[in-house]
Structure 1
Amino acid sequence: MSKAIVAQESGGPEVLGLAEVEQPTPGPGQLLIKVAAVGVNFIDTYQRSGLYKVPFPLTPGSEAAGTVASVGDGVTDFAVGQRVSTCEASGTYAEFVVVDAAKALPVPDGVPDDIAAALPLQGMTAHYLMNSSFRVEPGQTVLTHAGAGGVGLLLTQLLKARGARVITTVSTDAKEQLAREAGADEVLRYEGFSDRVRELTDGAGVDVVFDGVGKDTFDGSLSALRVRGMLVLFGGASGPVPPFDLQRLNAGGSLSVTRPTLGDFLRNPQERRWRASEVFGAAADGTLKVRIGARYPLAEAARAHSDLAGRKTTGKVLLMP
Structure 2
Amino acid sequence: MLALRLTEFAGPDALRLEEVDEPRAAGRVVVELDAAGVTYPDLLQSQGLYQVKRELPCVLGTEGAGTVREGPGFTPGQRVAVLASEGAWQQVVVADDDKVLPLPDNVPLTTAAALPVNYLTGHFALRRRAKVEPGETVLVHGAAGGVGVAALNLCRAWGLRAIAVVSDDRKAKVATAAGADHVVLVDGWLDAVREYTGRRGVDVVLDPVGGDRFTDSLRSLGPEGRVVVLGFTGGGIPTVKVNRLLLNNTSVLGAGWGEIVRQEPGYLRRQWDELYPLLADGRLQVTEPEARPLTEAGDALRALGERSVAGKIVLSLR
TM-score by length of 1: 0.90
Change (3 A) 1:159 1:236: same
Change (3 A) 1:110 1:256: same
Is the counterpart of residue 65 in structure 1 residue 65 in structure 2? yes
Match of 1:202 among 198, 211, 217: 198
How many residue pairs get aligned? The number is 314
Q: What is the DSSP-based 3-state SS (H/G/I as helix, E as strand, rest coil) of the residue aligned with 1:22?
A: coil
Runs of 4+ in 1 over 6 A off after TM superposition: none
Q: What is the DSSP-based 3-state SS (H/G/I as helix, E as strand, rest coil) of the residue aligned with 2:127?
A: helix
Root-mean-square deviation over aligned CA pairs: 2.1
Q: Structure 2 matches for 1:107-256, cutoff 5 A?
A: 107-250=103-246, 252-256=247-251
Change (3 A) 1:292 1:106: same
CA contact (8 A) 1:9 1:58 kept: no
The amino acid of 2:150's aligned partner reads L
Change (3 A) 1:302 1:192: closer
The amino acid of 1:18's aligned partner reads L
Equivalent-residue separation in structure 1 for 2:224 and 2:282 (angstroms): 35
Between 1:99-108 and 1:288-297, the stretch displaced more is 288-297
Q: Deviations over 1:163-194 (max 9, x none)?
A: 22222211101111222222322211223322
Give the Å deviation of 1:270: 4.0
CA contact (8 A) 1:111 1:280 kept: no
Equivalent-residue separation in structure 2 for 1:312 and 1:227 (angstroms): 34
Give the Å deviation of 1:269: 5.8
**Which ranges in structure 2 are unaligned for 5 or more consecutive residues?**
none
Is the counterpart of residue 46 in structure 1 residue 30 in structure 2? no
Give the Å deviation of 1:283: 3.4
Partner of 2:31: 33
Change (3 A) 1:103 1:279: same
The amino acid of 2:85's aligned partner reads A
Partner of 1:3: 2
Equivalent-residue separation in structure 2 for 1:259 and 1:199 (angstroms): 28
**Which ranges in structure 1 are unaligned for 5 or more consecutive residues?**
none
Q: What is the DSSP-based 3-state SS (H/G/I as helix, E as strand, rest coil) of the residue aligned with 2:36?
A: strand
Give the Å deviation of 1:84: 1.8
Q: Deviations over 1:246-276 (max 9, x none)?
A: 22211x3221111111124435564323322
Equivalent-residue separation in structure 1 for 2:229 and 2:308 (angstroms): 26
TM-score by length of 2: 0.90
Q: What is the DSSP-based 3-state SS (H/G/I as helix, E as strand, rest coil) of the residue aligned with 1:32?
A: strand
Give the Å deviation of 1:240: 4.1
CA contact (8 A) 1:103 1:269 kept: no
The amino acid of 1:54's aligned partner reads R
Is the counterpart of residue 257 in structure 1 residue 252 in structure 2? yes
Q: Deviations over 1:281-315 (max 9, x none)?
A: 33343333333443222233333333443445422
Q: Deviations over 1:203-237 (max 9, x none)?
A: 22111111111122210110011122111111111
Give the Å deviation of 1:87: 2.9
Change (3 A) 1:149 1:32: same
Equivalent-residue separation in structure 1 for 2:76 and 2:68 (angstroms): 5
Q: What is the DSSP-based 3-state SS (H/G/I as helix, E as strand, rest coil) of the residue aligned with 1:46?
A: helix
Give the Å deviation of 1:201: 2.2
Change (3 A) 1:300 1:212: closer
Equivalent-residue separation in structure 1 for 2:93 and 2:169 (angstroms): 40
Give the Å deviation of 1:280: 4.0
Equivalent-residue separation in structure 1 for 2:67 and 2:153 (angstroms): 28
Q: Deviations over 1:31-64 (max 9, x none)?
A: 1211111111111111112222322112111111
The amino acid of 2:278's aligned partner reads A
Change (3 A) 1:139 1:312: closer
Give the Å deviation of 1:19: 0.9
Change (3 A) 1:42 1:202: same
Between 1:112-121 and 1:79-88, the stretch displaced more is 79-88
Q: What is the DSSP-based 3-state SS (H/G/I as helix, E as strand, rest coil) of the residue aligned with 1:299?
A: helix
